Structure 1
């Protein structure tokens, strides 16, 4: 029989960073209700903030289970964070609170998720270990 083993170089920091990213995603959803931006920006905050929260939460739980952070999921969260930086300009958000909340939250998400992507690039290395078969 053989068994897969995984080595994780970055320890549990990926889980903490992902959890912090998920909390920022929750803030983005909450800020849509607090600042009442225009309708398009409101729904953008709800949908993108929820996606950030769920995907980053998945990575946090995955890292808590002694697995490495999913690089693809962290990359998607980083791209969503960059979108949150650009979205207020696209939707022409005039209200300062909603504008700066989206820009700062998006930048924070992009930096945190980018860190996770950088740390997880070569983190998971699966090796096959063979056990002697006895009959």
Structure 2
């Protein structure tokens, strides 16, 4: 028989990566649509569509399979972190002047990078995954 604290501690050690990765997927979806909603133009819109799609897809995969699944568990969060940094750098690379899309990329890219590093930390320390489904109700 398990106690409430056993269930809470097993939940705490199993849920951080999916929650962090799920939030990164939502931010990736925002990056995907930001060029349309913020009426961007030029290559930055194409970049945001491609990068946002990859971030959202990999982050959703990481949230669904925190132990890695077919990919190594570090692969998804590492690529997401790199793409988050690229999202921050993209406005400078494409010569976008300060504006709403510029700041959207800076904030969303930084948020994705921080969330991916948090997910990487959970994978490396083992605090975000659990091999057994014990404690599920």
Assess same fold via TM > 0.5: yes
Asked whether 1:75 is paired with 2:73, we answer no
- Counterpart CA distance in 2 for 1:10 and 1:48 is 30
Which residue number corresponds to residue 9 of structure 2? none
User: After TM superposition, what 4+ stretches of structure 1 lie above 4 angstroms from structure 2?
Assistant: none
- 2:24 aligned residue (13, 21, 25): 21
- Given the two structures, how large is their TM-score scaled by the length of structure 2? 0.77
Is this contact kept in 1: 2:82–2:113, CA < 8 A?
Answer: yes
Q: How many residues matched?
A: 117
Deviation at 1:68, TM superposition (A): 5.8
Which residue number corresponds to residue 112 of structure 2? 109
Which residue number corresponds to residue 35 of structure 2? 32
Is this contact kept in 1: 2:32–2:49, CA < 8 A?
Answer: yes
- Give the RMSD, CA atoms, in angstroms: 2.3
Using a 3 Å threshold, how does the CA distance of structure 1 residues 59 and 93 change in structure 2: closer, same or farther? same
Residues 35-114 of structure 1 aligned to structure 2 (within 5 Å): 35-63=38-66, 67=67, 70-94=73-97, 96-114=99-117
Q: What secondary structure does 2:77 align onto?
A: helix
Structure number having the greater strand percentage: 1
**Runs of 5+ unmatched residues, structure 1:** 1-8, 127-135
* Stretch deviating more after TM superposition (94-103 or 68-77): 68-77
- Given the two structures, how large is their TM-score scaled by the length of structure 1? 0.78
